[in-house]
Structure 1
Amino acid sequence: MHMKINFILVGLVVILMASCAVRKTSNNGMSDLIGKQWQLVELQGEGVSAKVNGKIPFLKLDEENGRYSASGGCNGIGGEYTLQKNNGITFSRGMSTMMACADMRVENELRTLFEEADTYIVNEGTLILSKGKDGAALAKFILVSDQSDKLAGTWELDYIIESGDFNTLYSSRKPTIIFDMAEKKVNGNSSCNNFSGNVKIDGHAISFGPLMSTKMACPGNGEQVFFKNIERVTGFDVQDSVLTMMMDDIAIMRWKKK
């Protein structure tokens, strides 16, 4: 009886050790892969434009819920992914939007990619998906650099869309914004009232809110135009001392570093 129990215990230990080994292997290089934005640059051996239908084609693997999101420049594609030992990966298709766009080639091939790919390699900011370790690359992605560290500090508004004459709109005071990256907060002045709130940044994607402000009565409609447009912002780009905020691919606000 005691011998039988010992055999059972030994068996359980072996199973647990094997399970831990598989998990450790499957996590190899995982921190370099998941939770990052990857831009599609090559598909089935052909180069992919930086924007398709005006949008950046991308892939992102979420760490918390084991799901991926992607786009070939038209619809949002998503589902679940599983990492396996020896750099194995599998994708299962979930729900996606069903818009029709002018260029559907990249999106159609991207859907096929997720059915075929079973191996990944990450090396110096490049992600390659292939079928089999020795198979040809099915797709190549490059890491979208995180520019959030460039946002820290104070910025003064220099341009805003739909404003008419900018200098007349903000004749007394130009709006300012200050980023606190450690707290993921912003504060500033709308040209009249002070405001503060949260900011969410993911690669080049950015969104604000909710924003709270003081309630002083303001002349003109400069403040109204400011809040209307900052709530529409979906992306940003920083070049030297210039911050451009965009709605999709349209520049709607431009700031200069103070």
Structure 2
Amino acid sequence: MKLKIFTLALAAMSLYSCGPSQDKESNDKTTEMNDSAITETQWVLEQLEGEKIEASQNGKLISFTLNTEENRVTGYAGCNSFFGSYELKAGNRLSFSTLGLTRMACPEGAFNESELMKVLDMTDNYRINGDQLELNVGKRAPLAIFKKVDKNAEPIVEKYWKLKTLEGQPVKMSKNQEKEIYFTLKMNENRVVGFAGCNGMSGTYKLEEGNRISFSQMATTMMACPDVDVNEADFLKVFELTDNYTINGDTLSLNVGRRAPLAVFEAVYL
């Protein structure tokens, strides 16, 4: 009987001693997987302190990437680029340090970069939920929420497309024109935003296989327009007719069927 009791006690001690080691190994694997999931990925800002953010600023996305080489972080804060270092620890711990900004002169009313930099400075942990990344401090509500950029995303989206030709005719900006004619396809809710020559414009779009594209609910503001070289109605007609597009480098053509392009645009990187 004593031998049986000793054997059972020894088995219990063996199980107890193995338990923590196995848990630690499991935790280490989880941490390693999480670290891999957050690094070498572009994270685009969606929310800051609970407020939805327009990520596209000046033709670029407010975002950051954690580069595993030398633990460097690089990103765009809305007007200036930023850079620095980061540290990842077990338990989804994350901290940023020695963050610096370039010193570009930012336009009035631009996104408040200091708010984003403050969030990065406060962050001490993170959480990944699907394709979203939450930056947190303690157990508070997320300081900021970012979305993972799909590396296979369509090259037409999130770019500033400046009009070059309309129905084969070159387009130049008039002296009395507020700004150049352009449009951008936003990933957020598949929205279209742009400028038609005098009025701002907006709407929605849909992308399908084979470079198929369609626009809907296109509308403009109701400003009284001076004489400009481009008839806004002609420009908006392009979006009504377009059913496909082609991209060659930084040149985009909106087409209907196999006709000559309705309009040709150039990607501008501000």
User: Could you tell me the TM-score, scaled by structure 1's length?
Assistant: 0.51
Q: 2:135·2:142 contact (CA, 8 Å) conserved in 1? A: yes
Does the C-alpha gap of structure 1 residues 145 and 111 become closer, same or farther in structure 2, counting only changes over 3 Å?
same
Matched, 1:58 2:57: no
* Separation (CA, whole Å) in 2 of partners of 1:93 and 1:104: 24
Q: 1:58·1:72 contact (CA, 8 Å) conserved in 2? A: yes
Q: Which residue of 1 aligns with 2:96?
A: 91
DSSP-derived class of the 1:137 partner: coil
Deviation at 1:160, TM superposition (A): 10
Q: Which residue of 2 aligns with 1:80?
A: 85
Gaps spanning 5+ residues in structure 2: where? 1-24, 156-160, 170-186, 188-205, 212-244, 259-270
Does the C-alpha gap of structure 1 residues 64 and 166 become closer, same or farther in structure 2, counting only changes over 3 Å?
farther
Match for residue 139 of structure 1 among 144, 147, 152: 144
Match for residue 32 of structure 1 among 32, 37, 40: 37
Percent identity over paired residues: 28
Does the C-alpha gap of structure 1 residues 255 and 75 become closer, same or farther in structure 2, counting only changes over 3 Å?
same
Q: How many residues align?
A: 161
Q: Which residue of 1 aligns with 2:119?
A: 113
Q: Which residue of 2 aligns with 1:46?
A: 51
Match for residue 122 of structure 1 among 119, 128, 131: 128
Deviation at 1:25, TM superposition (A): 6.2
Does the C-alpha gap of structure 1 residues 163 and 95 become closer, same or farther in structure 2, counting only changes over 3 Å?
same
Please give the residue correspondences for 1:110-189 in structure 2 after superposition, counting only pairs within 5 Å. 110-132=116-138, 134-147=139-152, 162=164
Deviation at 1:59, TM superposition (A): 1.4
Deviation at 1:253, TM superposition (A): 3.2
Q: 1:160·1:253 contact (CA, 8 Å) conserved in 2? A: no
Deviation at 1:51, TM superposition (A): 1.6
Residue by residue over 1:17-56, the C-alpha shift from the partner in whole angstroms, topping out at 9 and shown as x without a partner, is: xxx9997565341121111111101001111013234431
* Separation (CA, whole Å) in 2 of partners of 1:143 and 1:84: 21
Q: Which residue of 2 aligns with 1:100?
A: 105
Q: Give the letter for the 1:37 counterpart.
A: Q
DSSP-derived class of the 2:118 partner: helix
* Separation (CA, whole Å) in 2 of partners of 1:92 and 1:21: 29
Gaps spanning 5+ residues in structure 1: where? 1-19, 152-158, 168-203, 205-237
* Separation (CA, whole Å) in 2 of partners of 1:160 and 1:73: 20
Residue by residue over 1:2-26, the C-alpha shift from the partner in whole angstroms, topping out at 9 and shown as x without a partner, is: xxxxxxxxxxxxxxxxxx9997565
* Separation (CA, whole Å) in 2 of partners of 1:129 and 1:59: 12
Deviation at 1:111, TM superposition (A): 0.8
Deviation at 1:164, TM superposition (A): 8.8
* Separation (CA, whole Å) in 2 of partners of 1:81 and 1:255: 43
Does the C-alpha gap of structure 1 residues 33 and 95 become closer, same or farther in structure 2, counting only changes over 3 Å?
same
* Separation (CA, whole Å) in 1 of partners of 2:162 and 2:142: 43
Does the C-alpha gap of structure 1 residues 243 and 60 become closer, same or farther in structure 2, counting only changes over 3 Å?
farther
Q: Give the letter for the 2:40 counterpart.
A: G
Does the C-alpha gap of structure 1 residues 244 and 140 become closer, same or farther in structure 2, counting only changes over 3 Å?
farther
Q: 1:34·1:61 contact (CA, 8 Å) conserved in 2? A: yes
DSSP-derived class of the 2:69 partner: coil
Q: 2:78·2:111 contact (CA, 8 Å) conserved in 1? A: no
Deviation at 1:79, TM superposition (A): 0.5
Q: Give the letter for the 2:85 counterpart.
A: E
Deviation at 1:106, TM superposition (A): 3.5
